Structure formats: C-alpha cells, structure tokens
C-alpha cells in the first residue's frame, strides 16, 4: 500500500530541507490572490534580464562552421523554400548529396527552423541584409538560454523554494555555469537544455497535479530533442520518471541513512521502486496505475518527434532512416566511437574538458541531490538516471568534448537539471562561505569563456581538425581553460601589427561569417603564425567591444543603438522582477 505524503516539518529539518517538503495538492492549498500574476511578471522579468545580458556578452557573429551550416539552411529555407545548403565554402564541407540534386545538412531541423524569424528580420530590415541576419541568427541560442532561466525559476517555485531564493539560484545557474557561454554560441546545446528542462518540468507538473495533459506536453517537448539528435531517445524513459507519484512503505526509514549509502544505492532503489509501482498498478487501480498511465503518455507523445525526424530524413535524402551522419563520418574518415574510459574521465575530471571545472556550481547539485531525493524521489531519479545514461553514452564518442568548442558542451542539457538541487544546499550556515566561493569561481570561469575567440586555443596548439581522434587523452595534456587566463591578459597587448584582416575568410569585409581554418597550402603547424594575420583572434569576444574597434563600413549594424537596446531590455527585466517581488514577497 502506498505511503501517503507527510505534510509536517520535523524539528531537526533545516530551512533548506523545508524548501522542498512535499506540499498539499493545488486544490487543497489556500487561495493566494495575485500569485499567478506575480509569477508571470517575475518569469518575464528573469527572461528579459538574462536575454539582455546574454546578448550583450554574445560574440554577435557565427562562431563555428556548424552554426554557419545551420544559418545557410535557415536562409535557403526562407529564400528557396528548401532546407538545402548552397554556401560555396561551407556547403562542400558540411553538406551531403540529397534529393533533387541538392545538398543538405545532416543536422536536425529545429536549430535552423527556430532561427528563421531572426533571419527573416535581418533580411527585411538589415543593410547589408546577410551580415545583419547572421548577427541576429547568432542570438538564437541566447534566447533559449534565457528561456531556460525562466523555466528553472518556475520549477523552483513548484518545488516550494521561496521567491527570492528561486531568483538567486536561477541567476547562479544562468551566470556561473557553462550554460552562459554555450548560450552565446551558435552551437545548439542550450536549445537542448531548454527542451530537456521543459520536458522534465511538465512531467513533474503532471505528477503534482495528477494531469495527463501535462504528461503529454512534457512528452512533446522531449520529442523535440529527438529532432535535434536521435541519441536523446536514451534519456526519454529517464525524464519520464518525473511523471510518477509514489513512495515505498519504508520511505521514512531513509531519513536515518547516511548520505553516502543513499547515493551509492540510488540506482538499486530506483529499480526497486519502479518494480513496486508496476506491480501495484497491475494489481489494482489507484495512484500507482495513474502514474503508469502518465508515464506511458509521456513516452508515447515523444513519438511525434520521432515521426517528424523520420519525415525530415525522407524529405532530404529519400530514406526514412538515413539522416546523413554516418555518410558524413565515412566521407571524412574519422571514427564515431572512441575509448570510453578516456571519454568518461575526460568529461568528469580532465583539466581540458572536466565539467566540474567549467561549471563549479555543479558540485552543489551533487551535494544536494541526496536531500532532493528524500523529498522528491521521482524527480531525483529522473535527474540521476538521465545523467548517467547521457554521460556514459557521450563517453563512448571519439569526440566526447564536442569540439571545436569551449568546455564539454554535450553535457549542457544536464546543467539546469542538476541546478534543481542547488537550493537544498544554500542555507547551511557553516558552509555559506564555501558555497559563495564556488559560485564566484563559476562566474569567473564563465567570464574567461566570454573574453576571447574560442578557436584561438586550437590554432595556437596547431591541432588538426580531428585531433581528438588522434589522441583520446589529449585533454589531460592540454586545457583551454588554463590557457584562457594567458589569452585574456594578452588582450591588453592589442592586435598584432600583422593582422591586416578581421576574419579568416576570402571576403575581408565580412565580419559575421564563421572563422575558417588554414588554407590547404598552409600546414596546421604554422597556424600559430597564420592567425596573427586576423584581428578576430586578438580582439575581445563580446560584440560591443570588437565591433566598435572596426571601421564603420565593416560593421553589420550601429553598435551604440543596439548596445542601448539590450541594456534597455535588461533594465526592463530588472524592473519587472522588482515589481513582482514588491507585489508578492513570497509566492
């Protein structure tokens, strides 16, 4: 028989535990006039504040050829009605032969499709149109990164975290973790983070409100992940765990266990509780059966994303199962799989790609997950299980770091999930200075990430395009994070006198196109000297800084106007947050 939730606060509980105590169902809670209104103001304010600050620190240009390929798909989808690649430089490198004699990208549709409104605005209101479109396109992930902050804030409120603490921890997640620099890149990993968090959020709401509709909505969000990358199917069953609402008869006995045994036995307990739920649901109707129905609806709704992904494959390449990725690997002659041990250690503890170095506050999530599990076992199970599955899978890649990039970008979708465990660590008075030090360190790491063009590190090391396939332990020998300290200080020396051009592309007056590598006649060993011909590698990365240093004819827009605009957006967001807090001190 399922143990009912206990709505009492033991005297030994800390304020942190109290923030995540189970609450009565919504229909049993007292009416709080203005709460919904205040939530809207605060969520909108957080979005505007974060998107404005993200945009101000953005490079304002396409920073990687992956982004350039996605931009070209967006552009051609608008202009020709087909998601083809027609770019003369990127096309041969990133495109594959498809239907009707056209060349198509092997990337999924969402990153290009969701950016189309921004590209459209650039084409219709920019002068010159294409560079302005590229500037706006570069803000696509910025918008989704800010949306992550809004959803995370609402999630905190559902967990019972007080309003002020929810805002504070949302800011920690937004500005002290890898989510910030990834959201300022034309890589699409912050978009993955948004859809993963939204899927988990609606799954959690479905359990809390006993809503099948919420389970379906969560499944649809999870299905969008499949449109980006098929391997996200691995974590769908794990995310769906948050739709469950049940407890074992010995739930209260867990409070007497030590933290280490609880964490060590976590996978086993998840399996035990899952089996208990299935057995109870089979025997009789009740909460267990309702939970299983919500779980199945969540998973079934993902099939919409799977169907769209298969249809997009057929539209491009005439095959339901061929998305072009394996053909691309075969043409480039580099492996898909690598050393899983090296990959796992690279992601977790290497000086070059260790996720805890690039996102120090993640440590707080690890410390808080056991306490979160005591109060929200299904949610904690979803977070831990999906993390294990994704990390183990990515570890098997020959390129677990997702290069060329800053930090372990493939793990970005997990960061806001673990941020849900931040609040339970925040009120330990003896540990408050340590918590603050970790947060400040995380912020400083992200500031370093935003200071210099990321590809400078790879060129100064003379790495080949697929260097990660040549040495699976490369990130135990080289670290972009450690090198970034010297790179940042070198900005004070100014641009080298040899830097006659801004960008390393054949058209010197284009400033928003992705940087290209060394020509075929220049060996990569000479790349450290070659990059000294281009200003892009020696100017500060945020667009207000590098753009203002260029002649006006090389600027895709008026920097002063857009700087004032984004500052205004951030200020408006701050005012909305202030208004929301004033109207409701505690949601």
Cβ contact 104:324 at 8 Å: yes
- Compute the half-sphere exposure of residue 169: CA atoms within 13 Å on the CB side of its CA: 33
Query: Phi and psi (nearest 5°) for 60?
Result: 70, 20
How does residue 582 score in pLDDT terms, banded at 50, 70 and 90?
Answer: confident
Cβ contact 218:301 at 8 Å: yes
How does residue 247 score in pLDDT terms, banded at 50, 70 and 90?
Answer: low
Residue 554: exposed, middle, or buried by beta-carbon count in 10 A (0-12, 13-18, 19+)? middle
Buried b (16+ CB within 10 A) or exposed e, 557-580: bebeebbeebeebbeebeebbeeb
Cβ contact 48:573 at 8 Å: yes
Task: Look up the pTM and report it.
Answer: 0.90
- What is the average pLDDT value for the chain, to the nearest integer? 88
How does residue 154 score in pLDDT terms, banded at 50, 70 and 90?
Answer: very high
Percentage of the chain modeled with pLDDT above 70? 86
163 backbone φψ class: left, alpha, beta (φ>0; ψ -120 to 50):
alpha
Q: What angle do CA 583, 586, 587 make, to 5 degrees?
A: 90
Residue 483: exposed, middle, or buried by beta-carbon count in 10 A (0-12, 13-18, 19+)? middle
Q: How far apart are CA 417 and CA 395, in angstroms?
A: 19
The yes-or-no verdict on residue 196 having pLDDT over 60 is yes
Q: What angle do CA 237, 113, 320 make, to 5 degrees?
A: 60
The yes-or-no verdict on residue 431 having pLDDT over 80 is no
- Compute the half-sphere exposure of residue 346: CA atoms within 13 Å on the CB side of its CA: 34
Q: How far apart are CA 242 and CA 202, in angstroms?
A: 9
Task: Report pLDDT for 265.
Answer: 57
Give Cα separations from 67 to 71, 88, 212, 450, 512 (angstroms).
Answer: 6, 15, 37, 17, 11
Tens digits of residue pLDDT in 4-41: 333 333 444 444 444 454 443 333 343 333 346 788 88
Rg of the chain's alpha carbons, rounded to an integer?
24
Residue 133 bridge partners (DSSP): none
Tens digits of residue pLDDT in 296-333: 999 999 999 999 999 999 999 999 999 999 898 888 87
Give Cα separations from 261 to 52, 104, 264, 385 (angstroms).
Answer: 44, 51, 5, 17
Cβ contact 469:338 at 8 Å: yes
Cβ contact 535:541 at 8 Å: no
DSSP 400: T
The yes-or-no verdict on residue 487 having pLDDT over 90 is yes
Q: What angle do CA 105, 108, 110 make, to 5 degrees?
A: 120
Q: Beta strand 95-97 with 103-105: parallel, antiparallel or unpaired? A: antiparallel
Q: What is the DSSP track for 118-144?
A: HHHHHHHH-SSHHHHHHHHHTTHHHHH
Cβ contact 49:573 at 8 Å: yes
Tens digits of residue pLDDT in 523-578: 999 999 999 999 999 999 999 999 999 998 889 999 999 999 999 999 999 999 98
Residue 44: exposed, middle, or buried by beta-carbon count in 10 A (0-12, 13-18, 19+)? middle
Q: How far apart are CA 159 and CA 165, in angstroms?
A: 12
CA 106 to chain centre: 20
Task: Report pLDDT for 428.
Answer: 57
Cβ contact 540:452 at 8 Å: yes
Map tokens 């498809």 to a residue.
98
Query: Phi and psi (nearest 5°) for 88?
Result: -70, -20
Q: How far apart are CA 270 and CA 559, in angstroms?
A: 53
Q: How many residues does the chain have?
A: 587
Tens digits of residue pLDDT in 47-61: 999 999 999 999 999
Distance spanning both ends of the chain, measured CA to CA: 34
Task: Report pLDDT for 282.
Answer: 64
Tens digits of residue pLDDT in 489-501: 999 999 999 999 9
More confident residue, 420 or 554: 420
Of residues 354, 362, 477, the one with CA closest to residue 416: 362
Token pair, residue 166, equals 């929810």
Token pair, residue 530, equals 């070659």
Task: Report pLDDT for 553.
Answer: 87
């Amino acid at each position: 028989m399922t143990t009912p939730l206990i709505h009492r606060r033991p005297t030994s509980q800390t304020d942190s535990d109290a923030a995540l105590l189970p609450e009565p169902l919504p229909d049993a809670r007292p009416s709080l006039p203005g709460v919904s209104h205040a939530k809207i103001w605060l969520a909108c304010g957080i979005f505007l504040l974060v998107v404005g600050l993200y945009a101000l620190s953005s490079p304002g240009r396409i920073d990687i050829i992956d982004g350039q390929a996605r931009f070209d798909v967006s552009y051609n989808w608008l202009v020709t009605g087909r998601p083809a690649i027609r770019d003369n430089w990127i096309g041969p490198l990133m495109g594959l032969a498809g239907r009707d004699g056209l060349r198509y990208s092997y990337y999924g549709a969402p990153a290009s499709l969701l950016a189309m409104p921004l590209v459209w605005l650039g084409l219709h209101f920019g002068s010159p149109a294409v560079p302005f479109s590229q500037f706006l396109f570069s803000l696509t992930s910025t918008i989704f990164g800010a949306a992550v902050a809004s959803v995370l804030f609402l999630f905190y409120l559902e967990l019972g975290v007080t309003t002020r603490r929810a805002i504070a921890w949302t800011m920690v997640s937004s500005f002290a973790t890898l989510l910030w620099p990834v959201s300022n890149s034309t890589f699409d990993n912050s978009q993955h983070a948004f859809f993963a968090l939204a899927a988990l959020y609606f799954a959690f709401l479905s359990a809390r409100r006993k809503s099948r509709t919420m389970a379906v909505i969560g499944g649809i969000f999870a299905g969008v992940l499949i449109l980006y990358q098929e391997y996200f199917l691995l974590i769908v069953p794990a995310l769906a765990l948050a739709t469950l609402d049940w407890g074992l008869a010995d739930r209260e006995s867990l409070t007497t266990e030590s933290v280490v045994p609880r964490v060590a036995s976590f996978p086993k307990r998840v399996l035990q509780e899952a089996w208990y739920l299935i057995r109870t649901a089979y025997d009789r109707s009740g909460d267990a059966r309702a939970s299983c129905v919500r779980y199945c609806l969540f998973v079934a709704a993902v099939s919409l994303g799977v169907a769209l992904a298969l249809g997009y494959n057929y539209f491009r390449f005439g095959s339901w199962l061929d998305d072009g990725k394996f053909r691309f690997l075969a043409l480039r002659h580099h492996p898909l799989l690598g050393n899983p041990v090296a990959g796992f250690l690279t992601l977790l503890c290497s000086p070059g790609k260790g996720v805890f170095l690039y996102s120090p506050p993640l440590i707080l999530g690890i410390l808080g997950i056991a306490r979160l599990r005591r109060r929200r076992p299904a949610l904690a199970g979803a977070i831990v299980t999906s993390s294990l599955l994704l990390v183990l899978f990515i570890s098997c890649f020959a390129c677990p770091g997702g290069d060329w990039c800053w930090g372990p970008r493939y793990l970005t979708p997990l960061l806001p999930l673990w941020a849900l465990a931040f609040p339970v660590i925040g009120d330990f008075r003896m540990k408050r200075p340590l918590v603050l030090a970790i947060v400040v360190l995380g912020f400083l790491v992200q500031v370093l990430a935003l200071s210099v063009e990321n590809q400078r590190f790879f060129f100064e090391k003379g790495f080949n395009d697929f260097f990660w396939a040549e040495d699976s332990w490369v990130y135990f020998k080289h670290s972009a994070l450690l090198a970034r300290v010297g790179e940042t200080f070198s900005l004070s020396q100014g641009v080298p006198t040899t830097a006659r051009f801004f960008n390393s592309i054949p058209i010197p007056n284009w400033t928003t196109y992705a940087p290209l590598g060394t020509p075929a006649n220049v060996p990569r060993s000479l790349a450290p000297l070659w990059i000294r011909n281009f200003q892009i590698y020696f100017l500060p990365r945020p667009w207000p800084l590098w753009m203002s240093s260029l002649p006006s004819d090389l600027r895709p827009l008026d920097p002063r106007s857009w700087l004032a605009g984004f500052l205004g957006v951030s200020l408006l967001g701050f005012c909305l947050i202030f208004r929301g807090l004033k109207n409701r001190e505690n949601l």
